[in-house]
Structure 1
């Protein structure tokens, strides 16, 4: 069996075939023109035929060289793919997400790590709702708002649907809209926009004038609501676990779609296999949650 040609020589052949010039190939390979010429000559001697025709103005591939070129390109493409995919499986994926999605995301990531310890994920939380992959070194992010349209790889998780939520102790028995005037309303933001939007959709006919508390994040408002402090305005898609566990209940059936949503995005068109699998899995978990509620 004939010994295989050395890989460095094949790489030199590939670069030289692309340049058709020993000098330019040497510049790309950071070696001298003479070193390129010697490697090509050694490769031709090993194979037993010429790969290039030496011409006055440069080089031209022989018929054998033309046959070799696509095969060598395929070899190095497979090597590059292997480096990317194997490295993607072993490296820790960096994921960014806003705190408002933590009630849904964190349990899913814990489930993922139990199922796929070979694809570890490091989560960074933020009060920001977006991501700038040009400045931030994340592999993927969960973003909140309108559907992203900036050339990213995008997977929709779920739409935002606002609905009042409270502890079961407050939600026992039927509740009327007027009852909200006697309850403490918990606001996930200072502008009280979410509550106003829901009350308008419910045709309540009144502005919230009773006792109220403001919080910096939706998650904090949900936590206080689960303790019976008052009634919060929450996102239906994010409270499924709390509803199933009985920590929260919905005193009203009305859910108001805001036009915003939660999206899983990545900047790369050639994502590591582990990242693709994680994004597909999270999207599937979001779909199954929506169907179960």
Structure 2
């Protein structure tokens, strides 16, 4: 009797079957395209038949591959149910979070666990902004972007992304009798949280600028890396006011411009509807919703003060 393939390989097969593209499956699984391709090739060799046919624009399931999808999905659902029941009994919650949101959630989770030691929340940072509950071992996830529309997944709005320039206090010398303008950024190094510079261009556009006020620039793959560089005094970045409120309060950074601009993106707490949320997850959902409400109120107060 052949040994069973590993659960990781079978999960990879299900993600590839859903995406029908090795590259997109690799992004979901946070591995390389080559790793996904090798896993599928190994699984096909183990089973003795092809699971996919390669086409010009992607993949297609073979007859044998299509027959495997539903039974494997059902099997993983049973496994997830069993793990969820175990997690509910132990009080352990596994939460995925994009690295950019760690500044907001991690201090709050530590405070929560000090207040409620019986509720253990394990937060895993990821460069991914989404989640695939069928393929990833998480009870909930912070999701960034547009409102998720995943079947069988609840997504509670936490707060919107609101952008403004941010830098170390020693890097900025305010003018005595004049409000700051983008012209004051000339000669400073602009730290870009994205390769396409869209966050800076969006904020500058609200000022009526169509270009960048400085030719000095450094680019990063995540907001968190750009923020860390800004705290070291290496330049001025665009920061999300909601995510950095603790840093602003502690004066690790300053936001020299009163103008804040919404990007259209937001943060959501996503979790599967089935199995029904455990008591531990229900407590976490309620608590995080309250924390997000406090953040939204502080942001509204800051906005009103800037407009006054």
**TM bin (shorter chain):** 0.5 to 0.7
Q: Name the structure 1 match of 2:163.
A: 162
Aligned length: 211
Structure 2 residue 223 is the aligned partner of structure 1 residue 222: no
- TM-score, normalisation: structure 2: 0.65
Bigger radius of gyration among the two: 1
1:128 equivalenced with 2:128 (yes/no): yes
User: Matches of residues 40-59 of structure 1 in structure 2 within 5 Å?
Assistant: none
User: How far off is 1:208 after superposition?
Assistant: 4.3
Secondary structure at 1:238 match in 2: coil
1:282 maps to 2:283: no
- Aligned positions of 1:158-197 closer than 5 A: 158-174=159-175, 175-197=180-202
* Alpha-carbon distance, 1:183 to partner: 0.9
Instruction: Kindly provide the CA deviation profile for residues 36-92 of structure 1, in whole angstroms up to 9, marking residues without a partner as x.
Output: xxxxxxxxxxxxxxxxxxxxxxxxxxxxxxxxxxxxxxxxxxxxxxxx889615242
3-state SS in 2 of match to 1:237: coil
Residue of structure 2 in register with 1:212 after alignment: 217
CA RMSD after TM alignment: 1.9
2:110 maps to what in 1? Answer: 110
Q: Given that residues 159 and 295 in structure 2 are in contact (C-alpha distance below 8 angstroms), is that contact kept between their aligned partners in structure 1?
A: no
Aligned residue for 2:268, secondary structure, equals strand
Residues 89, 118 of structure 1: 8 Å contact kept = no
Corresponding residue for residue 268 of structure 1: 273
Instruction: Render the CA deviation track for 1:161-198: whole Å, top value 9, x for unaligned.
Output: 11101111223414321121211101112111111111
For each residue in 1:86-123, what CA deviation from the matched residue of structure 2 results, as whole angstroms up to 9, or x when unmatched? 96152421110110101111111111111111111111
Match of 1:244 in 2: 249
CA contact (8 A) 2:95 2:123 kept: yes
User: For residues 252 and 159 of structure 1, what CA distance do their matches in structure 2 show?
Assistant: 19
How far residue 248 of structure 1 moved from its aligned partner, in angstroms, is 1.0
User: 1:158 aligns to what SS in structure 2?
Assistant: strand
Map of 2:92 onto structure 1 = 92
Divergent runs of 4+, >4 A: 84-87
The within-5 A match list for 1:5-24 is none
- 5+ residue gaps, structure 2, are 1-83, 300-308
